[in-house]
Each structure stands twice: as C-alpha cells, then as structure tokens.
Chains A and B, each alone.
Chain A
Amino acid sequence: MSGPIGKPTPYIDGVQKVTGKAMYTDDYRFPNMLYVGLLRSPHAHAHIKHIDTSAAETYPGVAAVTVGTDLPISFGILPISSDENAMAVEKVRYVGEIVAAVAAETMEAAQKGAEKIIVEYDPVRAFIDPGDSLEVCDPAEQIHSHTKGGKNIHKTAELRFNEPEKALEQSPFKRTGSFKFAGVTHAFTEPHSTIAIWNGDETLTVISATQVPHYLHRNLSKVLELPMHRVRVKKPALGGGFGGKSDPFAHEMITAYLSMKTKRPVKCTFSREEVFINNHGRHPTTIDMSVGCDQDGIITALDTDTIIDGGAYGSFGVVTSYYNGVLLQGPYKIDKLGFRTRRAYTNKPQCGAMRGHGAVNPRYAMEVILDMLAHDAGIDPCDLREKNFLEENTVTVGQLRITSNGVRDCLQAVRKKSDWDKLYGKQPYGRGLGIGCGFYISGSALPIIWNHYPQTVVHAKLDFDGRIVMFSGASDIGQGSDTMLTQIASEELGVPMNYVQLEVADTKTTPVDLGSYSSRVTFMVGNAAKMASEKLRNEMAKAIAKEKDVSTDDIVFRDNKIFTEDGAVDISWEDGVEAALAGRGAIVESGYYFSPKMGGDFKGSGAGLSPAYSFGAFISDVTVNPSTGSVKVEKIWAAHDCGKALNPLAVEGQIEGSIHMGLGQAISEDLRYVNGQIVNANFFDYRIPYSVDTPDMDVTIIESNDSEGPYGAKEAGEGPIHPVLPSIGNAIYDAVGIRMMELPITPDKVLAKIQEKG
C-alpha cells in the first residue's frame, strides 16, 4: 500500500470534533422552527378510553396537536414485525410510550402544552416478567393480538442439527448452566434528536440522529403515506449509536407529521431520561445451556434454551432470537448443535440491537461452560479451545461459510503476552486470569428487506477542479467510516486525502447504503468504494494512455502523480485530470457490493450468514476482594482478527471501546424496572464505567487478510465485545473459585457466592 490504507489515520472530522464545530442534529436551528412536546403513558398496559386535546390546542404557543389515530399505519425496522405506531393507538404497552404530541413555539410551551392533554385509561394486567408471557392468558390481556396460542410470545426461533441431546447424554463430560443477564442499554452520549422540514416543493427533509437513513426513509414514506421520492433523510454528525439508533423511531414519525401539518420546521430532542425510556437495548436474557466434551476435550454437542425479554414491540427481535443460537457455530467446530430462543413480549420499553447483537449473552454462557469442562477434563482452558477451533475455509453445521480465520493467532498472542502458562491457576487467592473467545458476522449477507439491489452503492466523481467526491449513503456514527471512504479513494487514485471530499448519508444525493448495523460498513461500503475508485482510475488511465500512446496497464497513480515506470508518462495529478476530462467533462463512476449467494435451504438458514467472520481471544486479569466482593479488572489483553486493519487507529479504538462496553455489562450495568417503569434512567444510577474504572488494555490486531474483504478487511466494531465478558467471568473463577452465572457481577452477588462456597 503506498497510500493511507493500513496506516494509523486520524479521523478526517477530528478537528471539527475537538473544536466543537461538528454539527449534530440538535445543533441545527431553522427560522420559524417549532418544538415537539410529548405526552407519555403512565401505565404499563392500558386501553385508551378517551383523549381530550382541547386544552392543549388553545394553550399559548401550541401550533398543532396530534394523537395516535392521526398516524394509524404501523412501522418497524423488520417488515415481518412492523408492530409499532407513531403514537399509541387504542392501547399503551409500556410506561413512557408516546400517546400524543404537540408542536409549539418554544420548548417550554411544547412541554406544558403536552401536559394539558387529558387521557383516560383503563389499565389491564401488565406482563413484566417474561416467564408470565410464555403462559396462555385471557385474550383481553394479550399485549398484541397477532401472537399465537393465546400467549405473549413474539417469536420462537429453533434449529437442531444432528441430535445434540443424544450426543450430550453419551458425552464423558457434560455441563449444564443456567445463566441470567440483566438488560443493558447503549447509553450513547448524544440524545435522540430529529428535525423535520416541510419544503416549498412539497417534499419532506428529515435531519436525524440515525444509523439507518435508508430504513428511516422507507418507514417515513410508509407511515406518512408520502412517496419515497418526496422524502429526504440526512444524517449529520452522530454522537454514538451502538445499535441504539438503528431503528426508525416514533418521534421521527411524529416530528415529520407535525412539520407536514404546520408547514414549518419542527425539532424534537430527547432528555436523557427519554433516551433511557426509548431503550432498544440488549434483551434481558435467561439461558439454559448444555455443552459436552470427550476425554480429549473435543466438544461433542451443544444444546441451549433461551428466553429473551423483548419488551412491548418487535424491533430487531426476530433477528436477535436467531442470533442467540446461530452465532454459537463459531469459533469452535460443533457438529451437533441445537437451540431454541423464545422472545417474549412484555410491557416494558422494547429491546433491540446493541453492539454484538444477540451473541453477547450466549457467548458468555458458552465460554464459561467451556471453562468448566476444561477443569472437569483436566485440560488447560486455552488448550481446550485450541483443540476445538474451526479451521479457515470451512463450513459450519448450519452452513455458515467460514473464510479467513485468525482465531489461533489471536489466542496464541494473548496467551503469550499475559504469561498465561506461568500464571493461570497459580496466583494467590483473589487474583486470577480468564480466557474468552469471540466470533461475529462482518455484515449480514441478507438485506433486511429482500430485493434485487446491491447492499450498497458508492459513486466517485471527478471534475475539472481535481477533487474526488465520494457519494455514499454510509453512516459515520463515530466508527470512522467517513475516514475509511477517504482513505480508499486516496489509496486508489494516489492523491493526498485532502483531495477527497465526501457527500454522505443523504438519501437525496447519495446512493443507497443500508446503514451502520451488523458490522457491515467497512466490508461492504469499503468494497464498493474501492470498485468506484478503481473504475475512476481506469477511466483516467484509458484517456491518458490514448493520448500518450502507452498501455493502460502501465500507468501508475501514486504520490499525487501519474506515470509509467519507463518515464514515457510523468504528469501531475492536475494534468492527468485535464487529459481525462477532455472532450467529456466530469466523470462519475459507480461501485457496488453484493454478498455472494450462500447458506442452507432450511427455514432460518439465512440468519447469521455473512460474507466473512471476525474472530478474537481476550484474557482478563482480575482482582477480587473476598471480604467485599468487589471485582477490579486490572488488565485485558485483547487480540482481534479484523482481516486487515485499514486504519489501525480506528480498529484499536473499536477494540478499546468494546472492552469498555463489555466491562460495563459484566460488572455494573443493569437496566432496572419496578412495575414496568425504569427506575435508573440516569447516569447516577445506571452505572457505566468512567475513566477511573478503565483497566489497562493491551491490544493486538491480527490480520488474516480475507479474500473478499476490501484489502482483506473484516469487521472490528462489534466482534471485540464478545470475549470481554466471559474472560472476566472466568478470571473471577481463577481468582476465588466461584462461577458467576448472573450478570452484572456486582459485589453482593460475588460475596454471596463466596460465602455459599465457604
């Protein structure tokens, strides 16, 4: 690589961000703008008997009022579970659900105006514990009328390969564990915010803090009954997502509708409490998992039964249900595997996708049970894992196609760096090491909405001014995709990065990208950007070759010059641009990405399919205070196989950020409810690790060079969270000999286990 690919590259928007100039949604102001005030439900489950908006309509400053029946068309990120309305219609299903809204001249008038709306409710039985949702109930109590068998089960996902139950019975070693995981939430720093502008040409512009402009575009069109060509969605700078901004949201529909109704710009920004209420975080989960192995430590089978607490609506839940099972097919070879996941509807804010979607909790369970089996079989936990790793270029039992695979290198790196062989099991009581491995998709091979289009398209434009403009729908949410796009164009065309400029995440000007979810952007958008840039280079080379009478293949673009090795051509970039554009003007080239066709032909075979998979192995070093139960994670050695690090600075950042988020879920984060109401909807009571809690981090990037990834790249944004949690759990076992089956691992739970053990 002669350009920036593979070199640590500061973000192109870094200076904007450190100077406060980066514009996030709430930083935009428009003339004559109105503000949204929302009225939310005080009940977890209740029929709406009557809504009286008259006092709100006449409240000073209120310009418009709206209720659920104004927008009766349902929406949702998955077409198969579009079960949500902009505002509650007929009944409310969780405390905090939006029931009505106003648009007013000031934020204060909006809030007060909304409070003037009077709603009469008729409460019905609320389902708070997902266990209750699995039982048959009175039809009048059903949360949604579409669930089957009189129960509140949203989805049952189940796949079984090669009778795992039988193999487990015959296994020399078998362990069954019952695990419980609290719900956790993204807690990105930028609150949800959206601005809608009804334009003079009868089109709608929505500026929103979203990871998925394309799906917001589609859902706005559906709910507002506005053709897609009259809707424009733009994503400005975005203050973190982690999956929490990857659904179309009710407040986006409401704000857009109020703008259409008033023909004025309208803004809606959430308070921090509202961000917590909006949730869409990781599902509270219970897992009963059994894994067996033989005398040599070879895994014989895995069987797992999982209940995930989905809250009141679907969100990504169908995918989450499958991911809880199918993503157990790596990084170990398991030929006898079965799972069932039931997603319960409950009367709480909905859960959805969060970093490591669907695979974080089962990964904890799996890795902890492997640790138990290693001890049962008298095999070192690292050795047991090494014996079971999938090879590269293989297919799993559920037909996941594994290409590049650097998991062995990952494990060996952290094993060596942590001095595992010398220290594991040999440290004083209270200090321990633990290992955990990980496996994750590098983009979902199937789009959410089935169609014949590519998963992403990127345009590269060159005009007389010599700048390259990359047009991409990709959404930079802080992970650095804008920098990645710039690096690729710079690499391919041999110009400095400041010759490359971007138009991104704007559904009017940029070609469709499906969004920043499932760790798909580097792999898919990167490939499309590379193709567009290569095509642009070839077009330039053809024109220059013709003019100079040389072969196109001999022309090199490097160091801001265009030349042949023999010196026949040696011109500046600007002269090359002039030659290329002569007689035709600006060039626009298009690159795209399609996933290859793959997968089995059974129902559910599409879940977990990815063009490539990332792998990882982390070792944690913890100190446990046996008299207080407190756990301190001293250091984490992290090795992650991202194929090829296009920007090592950004890859390290993703791994370190994953450690932070994994640590939070492991030891402190817990979204708590009383009667369905979140009782810790703030950063005092929802405990996120701060700088003083951060452990030492030793990051190793393993480059397995995937044959289909751009320059060999795979994902790094989500995979690195998976090994964090079990490496901590297993280190606690090494430290004090207790198995933590319930997360977060708070001091009270540790102390109880230590006392129980005696």
Chain B
Amino acid sequence: MEKVQLNVNGFPQVVLVGSHETILETLRNRLNLTGTKQCCDEGTCGSCTILMDGKPVLGCLTPTVRCVGKEIVTIEGVSSGDHLHPVQKQLVQNGGMQCGFCTPGVVMTAIPYLKENPDPSIDDIKEGLSGNLCRCTGYKKIIEAVKNAAEELNG
C-alpha cells in the first residue's frame, strides 16, 4: 500500500492505495464516487471513462499511482444536477439512455470530444463514441443527443 495525494473534482484527497490498484477501484471503493461504472474491467466498454487533465482515460486501465499530480474529473464533477451540461441535458431529452449504466462514460467521452470537435458530423460522432458500449439504445438517440449538444454549445 502506498499513500498518495489525488486531486479529484477539484478537491485534494489523501488515500492509501495498492500498487496495482486502478483509479476506477480507488474512486468507487475508497472515495465512494460510484457514478463511474465498472462494466468490463478490461478497457473494452468505456463505462469507466474519466478525465485526466481534461483528456478522457479509461479508469479500469489507469493505475491510481499514475494519477498523482493530475486533475481528475469524474461524472460527479460535471454537474450536481441543477445545471446539466448540454450533453447531459440532451441525453435526457432525446432518450439517449435507457438503463443508464453506460451513460456516465458516454458523458465523460462526449464532453472532451466536443471540446476538440465543436462541429462534428454524424459519422464523426459515431467515431468519437466508438469506444463506448451501449447495449440498450442502438446508439441512435445518443448520437442525436451529442449532435444537439454540439449545436447548443455552438449556439
């Protein structure tokens, strides 16, 4: 075990972690930030996507010790629910989620994606979300939601 200082959603946190522990495990099991979901644990589904210094990373493949000195943002850090990010708002309004389990990962992928690609085509969005497995929606309404969010952000 080793003692590390993390910066999660703007707050410094000191935690004892195992040397092979992933940030997904640390977030869920030590910091009780359960919004980030554990689905495949091997980098195939995108459900555990978080931001490290603004870039999306897979929580299940990122050792916690590598997060030291970085700014970590999880789904809890995006919005407390009063003021939704346009991506979140559009996912709700467009029916871009059903069971909701992949949704935090979709949000954490789409937000940085739209920052880098403010005016994406439908095909661009498909490519941008290609690491996020959703078993419920058939992706159509997720893609539409992200498209609408892009327009809202540009508007």
Contact = CB atoms under 8 A, between A and B. Distances in A.
Is the A/B pair a real complex?
yes
Interface stretch (A188-196, A374-382, A592-600): A188-196
Interface of A: 8, 10-11, 13-24, 26-27, 29, 186-191, 237-242, 269, 271-272, 477-480, 649-650, 652-653, 656-661, 682-684, 688, 690-692, 694, 697
Nearest to B42: A682
Contact of A653 (B37, B40, B130, B141): B141
Nearest to B104: A20
Given A18-B107, A19-B35, A694-B140, A653 B95 contact: yes
B48 to A, nearest CB: 11
Contacts of A20: 34-36, 74-76, 104
Nearest to B77: A20
Contacts of A239: 37, 39, 99-101
Contact of B138 (A13, A16, A657): A657
3 A-B pairs with least C-beta separation: A20-B35, A478-B99, A17-B100
30 contacts: A10-B95, A16-B81, A17-B100, A18-B103, A22-B100, A24-B101, A26-B34, A27-B34, A188-B135, A189-B39, A189-B45, A239-B100, A239-B101, A240-B99, A272-B40, A480-B98, A649-B95, A653-B136, A653-B138, A653-B141, A656-B137, A656-B138, A657-B136, A657-B138, A682-B44, A690-B129, A691-B139, A691-B143, A694-B138, A694-B143
B78 interface: yes
Interface stretch (B51-59, B63-71, B84-92): B84-92
A23 B84 CA distance: 19
B126 A240 contact: no
Contact of A690 (B40, B42, B91, B133): B133
Contacts, number: 176
Contact of A683 (B44, B75, B81, B129): B44
Contacts of B114: none
B97 A188 contact: no
B38 interface: yes
Contacts of B129: 690-691
Contact of A189 (B74, B75, B95, B102): B102
Contacts of A661: 135, 138
Contacts of B36: 20
B141 A656 contact: yes
Contact of B42 (A17, A272, A660): A272
Contact of B101 (A15, A189, A691): A189
Interface residues of B, number: 56
B40 A682 contact: yes
B117 interface: no
B79 interface: yes
Contacts of A242: 135
A477 B78 CA distance: 25
A26 B81 CA distance: 22
Given A187-B135, A694-B139, 10 more contacts: A11-B92, A15-B88, A17-B100, A18-B103, A19-B76, A19-B81, A20-B36, A683-B133, A690-B131, A694-B143
Nearest to A238: B99
Given A24-B101, A237-B100, A477-B99, A684 B75 contact: no
B132 A653 contact: no
B84 A15 contact: yes
A265 to B, nearest CB: 15
A287 B79 CA distance: 52
A238 B134 CA distance: 14
A189 B47 contact: yes
Q: Which of A237, A238, A653 has the most C-beta atoms of chain B within 10 angstroms of its own C-beta?
A: A653
B35 A190 contact: no
Given A24-B101, A478-B99, A683 B136 contact: no
B61 to A, nearest CB: 13
Contact of A691 (B98, B103, B132): B132
B154 interface: no
A14 B137 CA distance: 14
A709 B67 CA distance: 54
B88 A19 contact: yes
Contacts of A479: 98
Contacts of B101: 24, 188-190, 239-240
B34 A240 contact: no
Contact of A656 (B89, B107, B140): B140
Nearest to A649: B95
Contacts of A11: 92, 95, 97-98
Q: Which of B81, B104, B135 has the most C-beta atoms of chain A within 10 angstroms of its own C-beta?
A: B135
B142 interface: yes
A8 B79 CA distance: 25
Given A21-B35, A23-B34, A659 B99 contact: no
Nearest to B18: A108
Given A20-B36, A24-B101, A190-B37, A15 B138 contact: no
Contacts of B99: 188-190, 237-241, 477-478
B88 to A, nearest CB: 4
Interface string B138-150: 1111110000000
Nearest to A27: B34
Contacts of A237: 99-100
B86 to A, nearest CB: 11
A695 B80 CA distance: 34
Contacts of A187: 135
B38 to A, nearest CB: 7
Contacts of A649: 94-95
Given A187-B135, A272-B42, A19 B78 contact: yes
A237 B136 CA distance: 14
B126 to A, nearest CB: 5
A189 B37 contact: yes
Contact of B39 (A191, A653, A657, A660): A191
Contacts of B35: 19-21
B97 to A, nearest CB: 5
Given A11-B92, A189-B101, A691 B40 contact: no
A690 B132 CA distance: 7
A529 B78 CA distance: 36
B140 A697 contact: yes
B98 A18 contact: no
Interface string B108-141: 0000000000000000011101111111111111
Contact of B95 (A238, A269, A652, A683): A652
Given A272-B39, A692-B130, A697-B140, A18 B135 contact: no
A307 B78 CA distance: 51
